Amino acid sequence: MPKLQPSSEDVRVYEVAVLYPFPINQKEEKNILDEIDTIFKEADAKLIESDKWGNRGLAYNIEGYNEGNFIIYYYEIDPLKIKEIDEALRILPGALRHLIVKPPKGYEVVKFSKDYQEWISNRETESERRTREKEEKIKKQVADKAKRQVKRTENEKKAPVKKSEATPLEEKKLSEQLDKIISDDELDL
């Protein structure tokens, strides 16, 4: 992107942001943009770059609109003509708001419209993100369970099988003790 450097000492580079209504038909939009260009041509301004951001929601209604189109211009302008341009933009029919600023030295023009369109195409909605995270969590749980089962089967193969076989003598002794407990008259149940 180009660095903003004035071509001579008697001009400066200015960033001009203009907000106009959305939705409007193409003819009205073209008329507004042509009027803006005419204002700068009359002031002998030289266009360096423009960046059309498109429509965005507004924080509050302006003249009954809750959305507006934004366009950013970078112009080389004689500083003595800024007041004249500001007045012309203020009374321009169809322009909701405008702002003229002098960017700092070494400022580079960044096309936000391009970055925004790339972000829009790559973003995921909140519900898509939740669904993806839920799927990842379930996959992890399934993988962990499979690992535990594999480990358990390996341990079972390694460990010798022990059968607890009671001898007949031990069984007889156990039966006698159970009979004694059951027949005990002192138990209060």
Range 140-159 average pLDDT:
86
Mean pLDDT for 57-64 is: 88
Per-residue pLDDT band at 23 (split at 50, 70, 90) = confident
Q: Tell me if the pTM is above 0.75.
A: no
* Predicted local confidence at residue 161, as pLDDT: 56
Q: In this structure, what are the phi and psi dihedrals at residue 15, rounded to the nearest 5 degrees?
A: -100, 125
Structure tokens at 112: 């936000």
Backbone angles phi, psi at 26, to 5 degrees: -60, -35
Q: Which residue has the higher pLDDT, 176 or 17?
A: 17
Q: Closest Cα to residue 98, out of 49, 40, 150? A: 40
Instruction: Tell how far CA 188 is from the center of its chain.
Output: 72
The residue that leads in pLDDT, 114 or 84, is: 84
Domains of the chain (ranges; CATH) run 12-121 (3.30.70.60)
Residue 90: which of 9, 19, 168 has the closest Cα? 19
User: Measured between alpha carbons, how far is 57 from 22 in angstroms, rounded to an integer?
Assistant: 9
